[in-house]
A and B are shown apart, each in its own frame.
Chain A
Amino acid sequence: QKEVEQNSGPLSVPEGAIASLNCTYSDRGSQSFFWYRQYSGKSPELIMSIYSNGDKEDGRFTAQLNKASQYVSLLIRDSQPSDSATYLCAVTTLKAGYQLIWGAGTKLIIKP
């Protein structure tokens, strides 16, 4: 079992709809959770971080964390073609000395 798992996709969503990206993790001691966006040919950029159970909203993005079920999700409302990218989930754990453990990423395609 991988420590951080994501569906590789591609996930195709029509423009204007809600894109839902999911990530599961294996270590119950995971403490901090991050979503990065990576455009093709570019480096990853941090878009959301979440540390407590529940929802965290920032503009069109909402991160959701459920520690009991060991998943974290990212919702993108009113999806735009410019949201087309690979989204990487990363978590920190005490076991890993707080280094980020990365998922392989989900490729998201927003269709006009």
Chain B
Amino acid sequence: GAGVSQSPSNKVTEKGKDVELRCDPISGHTALYWYRQSLGQGLEFLIYFQGNSAPDKSGLPSDRFSAERTGGSVSTLTIQRTQQEDSAVYLCASSPEFSSGRDGYTFGSGTRLTVV
């Protein structure tokens, strides 16, 4: 696609429910990243995928968070048993090649998650 697409743009869920957030990266981009941004805060790294390599999950805050990337393209971030502290904007980004480091990231418009 022309840009990084995220859905839904907004999600309100009840505490304890599971949610799935979707990211469709730019076509041909091999690297995909998930970040979380709480109100007024910086970017918090969650996870990245690069091609067929094992994902770097070092930023996932708890075992309630998981992510997968199917076919090297679309990624889904799943939060189980949501808590109020999970409320934030979840941003997905992609880049054409991980190893060069020269391309920067392109971000999607984000999913605003509110846990009530």
Determine whether the beta carbon of A100 is less than 8 Å from that of B104: yes
A43-B91, A43-B109, A43-B110 given as contacts; is B104 within 8 A of A102 (CB)?
Answer: no
Closest partner residue, chain B, to A91 (CB atom): B101
Assembled-state Cα–Cα distance A4/B106 (Å): 20
Residues of A within 8 A of B33 (CB): 99
Interface residue tally for chain A (C-beta within 8 Å): 21
Interface of B is mostly: loop
Of A12-20, A44-52, A65-73, A76-84, the stretch lying at the interface with chain B is: A44-52
Determine whether the beta carbon of A104 is less than 8 Å from that of B109: no
Determine whether the beta carbon of B42 is less than 8 Å from that of A104: yes
- Name A41-65 residues within 8 Å CB distance of B: 42-46, 49, 51
Determine whether the beta carbon of B99 is less than 8 Å from that of A49: no
A92-B101, A98-B98, A98-B99 given as contacts; is B43 within 8 A of A45 (CB)?
Answer: no
Assembled-state Cα–Cα distance A22/B98 (Å): 26
Counting chain A CB atoms within 10 Å of each CB, the highest count among B43, B100, B102, B110 belongs to B43
Contact with A along B53-68 (1 / 0, CB 8 A): 0001000000000000
Determine whether the beta carbon of B43 is less than 8 Å from that of A99: no
What are 8 A-to-B residue pairs whose CB atoms are below 8 Å? Answer: A31-B101, A44-B43, A44-B107, A46-B106, A51-B102, A98-B99, A102-B42, A104-B42
- The chain A residues found within 8 Å of chain B, CB to CB, are 31-32, 34, 42-46, 49, 51, 88, 90, 92, 97-100, 102-105
The 9 closest A-B pairs by CB, nearest first: A98-B101, A92-B101, A104-B42, A43-B107, A46-B104, A32-B101, A102-B43, A34-B104, A43-B110
